[in-house]
Structure 1
Amino acid sequence: MIEPEGGFDVAPVTIAIDGPAGAGKSTVAKRVAERLNLMYVDTGAMYRAVAYLCAQEGIDVNSECAVEAVLDAHRVSFEEGEDRTLQVLIDGVNVTSRLRAPEVSALVSTVAAHPRVRQLLTEWQRAFAERHSVVMDGRDIGTVVLPHATVKVFLTAAPEERARRRQEEYRRMGYEVPLDEMVKNVIERDRKDSERAVAPLRMAEDAVRIDSTDKSIDSVVDEIVQLVENAHVR
């Protein structure tokens, strides 16, 4: 069962940041939220929570029934952390820091492709946006979750650069993954996310495309903040 936690101010501002794996969405979205004093909602963490549960219990993620069953057997909840970022709790235990392990990442695309899982999590993502001012990142935020978002950004980068970033992220967590393997993983993740039947990865027609391959995080954040200011939402 998935339940919301906490309650925040009604949100007149919604910033949607979509893009492929490793584009820097989470880092950029969190910094944009800090700059604008908004709540950062990492929707990927929601899907990772489901994948984490499946990994912990040895669930066949290709079986939608099995994934639904493990969800029904546990209490998955989300709340606002002290730094205004989304925290994930499973049966009351905060597992946010465990959600980016390679074994979890390997299952996310498959879990996220199940229609019922997407329906459940989309409902909660919209609920957050209705109650809070948010910066929300994912793969279908501007196209499905928040089609009327105040500002929409599609953040991308070259596959090799995204793989390098993911490799460095894993290294900081104590995992060593060869770069060529990371490139293959990124390309395969792109394929799965783009070809899935429900809410595939694609750029919204009214989104602004930002290629972060040769840009610093600060410059990307500045660009998005400028878009928000131009929309007169501050």
Structure 2
Amino acid sequence: MKKFNKLIIACDGEAASGKSTAAKIVSKRYNLLLINSGLFYRYGSKLIIKHKPKNIVTFLKKKLKKISYNKIAKQNLHSEEISNYVGVLAKNQKVREIINKLQKKIIQSNKKICVEGRDIASKILVKNPKYDLAFYFKCNIDVASYRRWLDIKKKVSLKDVRKSLSKRTQMDKKRKNSPLIKVKDAILIRTDKLTKKQVLSKMSKYIEKLN
């Protein structure tokens, strides 16, 4: 296994496509700082649901100003209520600007990092810094729904989970600001029939080829 002084990886993909798991295992393998950009939006959604502010932009600007990523990462942010709201929040351009600025600050201070989300290769890691390698994850909707259903410990029906995931992916792809897209040089990984070990093996094959 190669040792890297600098390695920046972008992981984008649809809801419940396996990108979070992939980012986690590849970060562990190559000793990278892992940033899940979706958690910023989920944390923001949790705050809005709880406090119901009149102006969400002003509210989030203040709340996220000095928040640490570690604090966000330790929270439970995958309730169905948050999942249903986060796609709406992600469409707000001013909110995206606040969160993008926060992410950039964290990213620029690290040379070995893996960032996962929906606009990482297309928006966040375009320059200063630019990704060394980009991956795009897809998964059959039925497989993705079942995996998410198990993740949330079957607290809602499988049918509702499928509906929620399908709606979220359509919102991500059709939103005006920073839509979910696969950039030209991103490596497509379909996780439907792959184990975690096989996903890591595929990713490592490309990483090991880097100079």
**Quick check: TM above 0.5?**
yes
User: Could you tell me which residue of structure 2 aligns to residue 154 of structure 1?
Assistant: 136
Contact preservation (8 Å) 1:160, 1:183: yes
Which structure's relative contact order is higher, taking Cα pairs within 8 Å and 6+ residues apart?
Answer: 2
1:74 maps onto 2:54 in alignment:
no
Other structure's SS at 2:181 match: coil
User: Could you tell me which residue of structure 2 aligns to residue 92 of structure 1?
Assistant: none
1:218 maps onto 2:197 in alignment:
yes
Other structure's SS at 1:98 match: coil
Other structure's SS at 2:9 match: strand
1:112 maps onto 2:95 in alignment:
no
Contact preservation (8 Å) 2:138, 2:190: yes
Contact preservation (8 Å) 1:45, 1:96: no
Q: Calculate the aligned-residue CA RMSD, in Å.
A: 1.8
* Matched residue type, 1:42: N
Per-residue deviation, 1:220: 0.6
Other structure's SS at 2:188 match: strand
How do 1:53-202 and structure 2 match up within 5 A? 53-59=47-53, 66-75=55-64, 77-79=66-68, 86-89=69-72, 96-132=74-110, 133-147=112-126, 148-171=130-153, 176-202=155-181
Normalised TM-score (structure 1): 0.81
Instruction: Provide structure 1 residue ranges, at least 5 long, that are not aligned to the other structure.
Output: 1-10, 60-64, 80-85, 90-94
* 1:127-150 superposed Cα distances (whole Å, 9 cap, x missing partner): 222211111100000111012310
1:42 maps onto 2:36 in alignment:
yes
Contact preservation (8 Å) 2:61, 2:98: no
Instruction: Provide structure 2 residue ranges, at least 5 long, that are not aligned to the other structure.
Output: none
Per-residue deviation, 1:70: 2.1
